[in-house]
C-alpha cells in the first residue's frame, strides 16, 4: 500500500471507530473486569469491520506488514489495550506460524490473521527470568500417543506468568 493509501486507511479506522458507541469514552472508569470485557468486544468489532481486504493479507510481507502496522497504530491511538491484544493475539502469532510453520500450519495462520477466528495467547514470561527467551526453563514435549504437547515447568521460578491474552 502506498503512503497515501495507508493514511486513508488510518483515517477510515479513526472515523469508523469514533462513530461507533462501543468505542466511546466513559464518564466513569469501568471496573477492571468491565474494561476487559469491553476490550474483547472492541477487538471483535474491529474484526467485523474488515478494514483490510483479503488482497492485503495475501500480498507480500512488506505490504501486508505496513497495512497491519497502520491499522494497529490507528487502534492504539483510541485504545492501547485493544492494540496490544491484537498485536499479541493476531499479528505476533500469525507471523510465527507463517515464518516457522509448515504447510499444515497454514490453516491456523489463515484462521488467525485472515478470518480472525482465533485469538491466541502468548506465554513467554517466567517468574525468575522475565521475557529472556534464552533462559526459559519451561519445555513443551510432543506426546505422540495423546497427540498433545506436555508442558513442564520444573519449579516455581520457571512458572509462566503474565500470559498475554489468556483471559481468566
C-alpha span between 24 and 27 (Å, rounded): 10
Residue 97 pLDDT > 70: yes
Q: Which of 1-10, 33-42, 107-116 has the lowest mean pLDDT?
A: 107-116
Pick the closest to residue 56 from 67, 46, 47 (CA basis).
Answer: 67
Any bridge partners for residue 148, and if so which? 143
Phi-psi region of 127 (alpha: psi -120 to 50; beta: other; left: phi over 0): alpha
Quote the CA–CA distance of 32 and 117 in Å, as a whole number. Answer: 25
Least confident of 32-41, 68-77, 99-108: 99-108
Give backbone dihedrals phi and psi of 144, rounded to 5 degrees, phi first. Answer: -65, -30
Which is more confidently placed, 93 or 8?
8
With a CB cutoff of 8 Å and minimum separation 6, the contacts of 108 are: 97, 101, 118
Q: What is the pLDDT of residue 168?
A: 58
CA dist list (Å): 134 to 126, 130, 137:
11, 11, 9
168 vs 54: which has the higher pLDDT: 54
Q: In the predicted model, is pLDDT for residue 166 greater than 70?
A: no
- More confident position, 150 or 163: 150
Binning pLDDT at 50, 70 and 90, where does residue 117 land? Answer: confident
- The residues spanned by each domain of the chain are 3-114, 122-168
Amino acid at each position: 500500500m502506498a503512503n497515501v493509501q495507508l493514511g486513508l486507511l488510518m483515517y477510515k479506522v479513526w472515523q469508523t471507530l469514533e462513530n461507533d458507541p462501543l468505542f466511546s469514552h466513559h464518564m466513569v472508569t469501568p471496573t477492571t473486569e468491565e474494561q476487559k470485557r469491553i476490550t474483547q468486544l472492541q477487538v471483535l468489532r474491529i474484526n467485523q469491520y474488515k478494514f483490510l481486504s483479503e488482497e492485503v493479507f495475501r500480498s507480500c510481507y512488506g505490504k501486508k506488514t505496513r497495512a497491519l502496522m497502520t491499522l494497529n497504530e490507528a487502534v492504539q491511538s483510541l485504545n492501547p489495550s485493544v492494540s496490544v491484544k491484537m498485536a499479541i493475539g493476531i499479528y505476533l502469532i500469525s507471523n510465527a506460524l507463517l515464518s516457522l510453520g509448515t504447510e499444515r500450519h497454514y490453516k491456523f495462520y489463515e484462521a488467525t490473521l485472515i478470518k480472525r477466528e482465533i485469538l491466541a495467547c502468548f506465554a513467554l514470561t517466567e517468574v525468575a527470568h522475565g521475557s529472556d527467551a534464552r533462559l526459559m526453563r519451561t519445555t513443551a514435549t510432543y506426546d505422540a500417543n495423546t497427540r498433545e504437547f506436555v508442558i513442564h515447568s520444573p519449579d516455581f521460578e520457571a512458572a509462566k506468568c503474565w500470559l498475554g491474552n489468556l483471559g481468566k
